[in-house]
Chains A and B, each alone.
Chain A
Amino acid sequence: MQNDTIHSINGPVITVKDTDTFALMEMVYVGEDRLLGEVVSMTREATVIQVYESTSGLKPGEPVTSSGESMSIDLGPGILKNIFDGIGRPLRDIAEATGAFITAGSQGNTIDENKLWPVRIKVSKNDTLKHGDVYATVQETDLIEHRLMVPRGKGGKVVYTADDGDHKARTTMVKLEDRDGFVHELSLIQRWPIKTARPVTKRLDTAKPLVTGQRVIDTLFPITKGGAAAIPGGFGSGKTMTQHQLAKWCDADIIVFVGCGERGNEMTQALEEFSELIDPKSGKPLTDRTVLIANTSNMPVAAREASIYTGVTIAEYYRDMGYHVAMMADSTSRWAEALREISGRLEEMPAEEGFPPYLSSRLSQFYERAGYYETLNHKTGSITIVGAVSPQGADFSEPVTQNTKRFIHAFWALDKQLAYERHYPAVNWNESYSEYVNQLSNWYSENVDEEFLDHRQQIVKLLNEENKLQEIVKLIGSSLLPDDQKLILEISKLIRKGFLQQNAFHDFDSYVTLEKQMKMMDVILYLYHEADKIVDRGIAFRLITQTDIFNKLTKMKYEIPNDDMDMFDDYYDLVDNALSDIK
């Protein structure tokens, strides 16, 4: 074997001269400390490698060794409830080994090899298995049954099964003999290259919503299970808050939360909050279904690029078991900037704003891994991707936002002005959109209410009219408007403050069922139509506002719990009583 050594070092990029040992995208070990790296370009003279850890102290002449595979991670039980760095090393184990600060060259296995897992074998001798078939299950957490699937390239007749019971992750559970007489041993662990999408049987249409309990999303700009959405917003507009809310409340089976180039304290907060929160359906802590991936902004930049792929690979692994997975990436802009930084070090020709020309194709490769699928073992599973975007100067015309828009179908634009008013979630209803509404219309009619989409349309229309009227109000004030327009302004204000605005810290308001969302819309629109009748009769609108009915409805979100829909009857009565005096 050739003796490959470091020739040059420039930040996270090193080169090896005159070698043909390596393959493109291959994972390599760099230096005496065996830092992880990846081959990013090759010529006959020089092989360029990006290193996933700090290169401080690295010297030319130190060895570079090949791993023989592209950047891969171990998959198996123990991923849930855990927190990993960008390349799949468990941060708790690293903290135990090296203390509070992460040193370069820290080692750690993604899957704990000493822990005993309660395994149930699902196949018997002489069964024939192929890629993707489930051969055993493990109760990974109280909420999730982990299904072990035959890895790629393996298959055949079962010739050995271990007994049910507690086993370590590396123990052979099943042996398969293929047609050539070769015996494959399957343990609880399989490896997968993170930049390759895991195969499925086929892609299915998406027609079910990912219910988030956030009114502005579920009602106005819904997303399907298997859809892709982007949350762009300047700093302080609440991207992370919104993503945390989705991770806490959305009705996916598994949450993969990738903190990509963001704050360390936020990851700590996610760790704490998710373990304190109890899933309302099962009564178990939310961490039971969550995996966190943290590449904080001061961790090595090359690992930032990998963190997104590590996250989506884990998401696909659980999808293949037949789960609905929601992946949050906060923030894809930091990922794009990592691409830009590496590209600059490689002295590639930059395109727009210094970003590499392949920015768009990388984004599409990532977002295309979302979808609703029939898995290899003929279950259905999905991956929903919600990516935060941090546009420079809150300017949505910058390359990352623009390129992202091409690959997503729900766009939740966060607005600085709304954030200044502390109107959260600060989703701007004029700039945001969702192309999933039509796909979901049947589901909403069958599962919520036939009038749900009709109500939604009315709300959208009112907000749109308000937007136009506000232009006039800015010029002449609202007092000169005719009464029917005043009513639109007032009812829209009620929609904005009483419906769209949602208090993440309020017990009743943090998560709202679709049923309650529907009822709230219904009461608001009931008030609108009844008031409209009165205004039509030429009665002064002032008399209606004096009844304080608008303020009462604004606060209904805090008064009615999710499990007491009968309380809405009181609000119809309130409207009737208030208006009957005027009639």
Chain B
Amino acid sequence: MLSFIIRRLLLVIPMALLVVTVTWTLVRLAPGSFYSGEKTLPPAIEANIKKKYGLDKHWLEQYGLMMLNIIRLDFGDSLKYPDRNVNQIIRDHFPYSATVGILAYLLALALGLTAGIVAALKQNSAFDYGSMTFAMLGLSVPNFVLGPILVSVFSLTLYMFPPARFGGFMSLVLPVITLSAIYMAYIARLTRAGMLEVMRSDYIRTARAKGLSEKTVLLKHGLRGGIIPVVSFTGPALASLLAGTVVVEKVFAIPGLGNIFIQSVLNRDEPLILGIVAFLSILIMLFNLAVDISYGFLDPRIRYE
């Protein structure tokens, strides 16, 4: 097991570099540059800018320098925001998206798992239909609709929570609810499906036949196999949640990484794009590794050769 983890961890670095290379190529292929604007710059000014940022060098040299910096974990300065360092930007803004993302996922997990398990155990009951309908509602109301509706009810009519901007617990309530709705729905439905599948499998029947209490059967055996779909889903979901969600960040004016990332792509801010992509790809790989490890704990029959 340990060697499996080490092997996977060692893989993270070359893979992140591969992702960065692909992204770098895409940035270079995309039309426009960070300084292109409504006004065309005089050629002399453009030349000054190119010289300042080393864009006048051969592309191979530029690529080499970029990779060298990345290996040293220094992504350099943003081009669009020249007084800010990419590492600094990630360090400053990741906590915002992480706070909102983790809280939202915890909320989604708590409510979604409970609803999914109960619904599966009481299949076709009123609770089953009720909670699944609710889950569907969370799914079919897009977050760009849910957010503004929550704001107009709770902030602008009842004046219970601030309508936007990050600051204190109260300001987190609405964005966390908005963000968690869709994940809650996913988790509830996946849990229900997984549980239904597992509760009918042979080993649960065996466990029941052994005379174990229903509670033990459910929590010790059923749940472990039943939440595998949720666990599979969690890896990528949590990684993207931590990196920030554009819509919620925009609606609630949260200075998270998600919006900064989208803007960096639209701005062709190469160092910032590469920095965030490298960071994000490492996150995704680590989360997926964690998921693969947890499979083994959840279901002892899953082994890695």
Q: Do A and B bind each other?
A: no
A residues with CB within 8 A of B: none
